[in-house]
Structure 1
Amino acid sequence: MFIVFFLLGMFFFLFPKYLQFKGTNYQKASGNTFLRTLFNTGNYGEYLTFSKLEKLPGHYRLMTNLYLPKKDGSTTEVDLIMLHETGLYVFESKNFSGWIFGDEKNKHWMQTFPNKRKEKFFNPIWQNKAHINALKTVLGTEYDRFFKSYIIFSERCTLKKINVTSSNEKVMKRNNLITTIKKEISNSEKLLTRQDMDQLFFKLNKYTHADSSVKDAHVRQIQLKK
């Protein structure tokens, strides 16, 4: 009997989430299945951000998990890009809980948990700058001024003390994303035509859906840097 109730509970928990998932284009864009998304914290955070951006009006292209080449022969993984008529929006997703402390100028930020445990993590603004630099290398200098950096944290965390002074760097929780980006779009000039966006999409598309060898090599290079 316990097993029956457990399975029914799992069904009622998973089925609505499955319907929401299938109502987006995330699987097509990322290659991640429903279960691989739901039970991977990083993937799930990217999916939630992707699904919010999909609701924006107008013509734009969303791309996820791009493995871009770096000058040293390694790769950098870009979580999410939105190609929009007002620019190239690059998102770094941090699906974290706890209290978050950070400064734009510091190499490491801090995550503090309720049990007082603390963990350092690499400055996500610097991380996203590396992503943007890799994109500039691939796309060329003509797009240098088009980039906009967004660091997106989970609603489960508290941005306790975050110091950011650069106007082109945005750090926020996911529930503030749409309001913020709509405001930026409305205050920005149009830089790209629909044809420009489509051309950029096709140019970058070869860096998506990386095979396991590329992903494994990327993980190894990260581990070597620790």
Structure 2
Amino acid sequence: MGFIVICIVLFFGLKLYPSYQKYRLSDYKNASGNRFFKTVFDKGNYGEFLTFVELERFSGYHRLMTNLYIPKADGSTTEIDLIMISPAGILVFESKNYSGWVFGDEKHKYWTQTLHKNSKNKFYNPIWQNKGHISALKALPSLENDKMYRSYIVFSERCVLKEVNYSSEYLNVIRRNNLFDAVYSDILNSERLLNIEQIDEIFYQLEKYTLVDNRVKEEHVNQIKNANNYESN
């Protein structure tokens, strides 16, 4: 029995060690407040973490933020997975750590995840979702400039973007393994909109919307549940 326990511990230790090394070297823990096990054993958190780590590879001056709860005009909040404040502007990331095949259209309210022939899941259009995030940011003082925003919908490497259609400018729907190249190209070919001082100003302006207390998170979850219940009635 003891030998089996040791084998199990070794198995999980070896499996988790690469993730732990990434976590230890990343600033994600400080930006999100999420401890290691909460990061790796929560599918959504883990996807955000891997995206955060990819964006940390950039050497040019930038600021990364995660899990921002931005207030909306109706008193509710919208949660933004990740933003990168760079000379090219504010890049807003919606992380979808999904597997399977993904079908969707920018004009349609719901997209579909297909795991196998008899398993299909509908989910809200992530382009619309991120558009809502950007609208909330634009409502804040000094952040209303449309040209400053770029939207990225980031899916896991484990999925196939089987049929995804969109045409809007400043929008990318990609898998995480293509993220670095897409962002690098975007920044390289974009007009310089922000200098270092402006990047820092925006970071400090938004900092109060990160690392929020549990009450804000619970209210946000309840607001989503109420909205879903309203739609189903």
Which TM-score band (shorter chain)?
over 0.9
> Over aligned residue pairs, what C-alpha RMSD do you find?
1.0
Matched, 1:60 2:62: yes
Output the CA distance in 2 between the equivalents of 1:196 and 1:188: 17
Output the CA distance in 1 between the equivalents of 2:144 and 2:136: 14
> Runs of 5+ in structure 1 lacking a partner?
none
Output the CA distance in 2 between the equivalents of 1:192 and 1:139: 16
Percent identical pairs in the alignment equals: 50
Letter in 2 for 1:74: S
Per-residue Cα deviation, 1:167-210 (whole angstroms, up to 9, x for no partner): 21110000011111111111101000100000000000000001
Residue among 149, 154, 157 paired with 1:152? 154
> Runs of 5+ in structure 2 lacking a partner?
229-233
Output the CA distance in 2 between the equivalents of 1:23 and 1:118: 37
Output the CA distance in 2 between the equivalents of 1:191 and 1:162: 30
Match in the other structure for 1:212: 214
Match in the other structure for 2:52: 50
Per-residue Cα deviation, 1:118-143 (whole angstroms, up to 9, x for no partner): 11100000000000000011143553
Output the CA distance in 2 between the equivalents of 1:10 and 1:113: 26
Output the CA distance in 2 between the equivalents of 1:19 and 1:110: 34
Deviation at 1:28, TM superposition (A): 0.4
Equivalent positions of 1:35-114 (< 5 A) are 35-114=37-116
Higher mean alpha-carbon deviation, 174-183 vs 7-16, is at: 7-16
Using a 3 Å threshold, how does the CA distance of structure 1 residues 141 and 2 change in structure 2: closer, same or farther?
Answer: closer
Residue among 9, 34, 54 paired with 2:36? 34
Using a 3 Å threshold, how does the CA distance of structure 1 residues 141 and 80 change in structure 2: closer, same or farther?
Answer: closer
Tell me the TM-score normalized by structure 1.
0.98
Please give the secondary structure, in 2, of the residue aligned with 1:138. coil
Match in the other structure for 2:168: 166
Match in the other structure for 1:176: 178
Higher mean alpha-carbon deviation, 161-170 vs 136-145, is at: 136-145
Deviation at 1:144, TM superposition (A): 2.5
Deviation at 1:2, TM superposition (A): 0.7
Deviation at 1:115, TM superposition (A): 4.6
Output the CA distance in 1 between the equivalents of 2:113 and 2:54: 25
* Aligned length in residues: 226
Please give the secondary structure, in 1, of the residue aligned with 2:145. helix
Output the CA distance in 1 between the equivalents of 2:132 and 2:18: 37
Output the CA distance in 1 between the equivalents of 2:18 and 2:164: 35
Tell me the TM-score normalized by structure 2.
0.95
Higher mean alpha-carbon deviation, 120-129 vs 6-15, is at: 6-15
Match in the other structure for 1:143: 145
Residue among 128, 131, 154 paired with 2:130? 128
Deviation at 1:17, TM superposition (A): 1.6
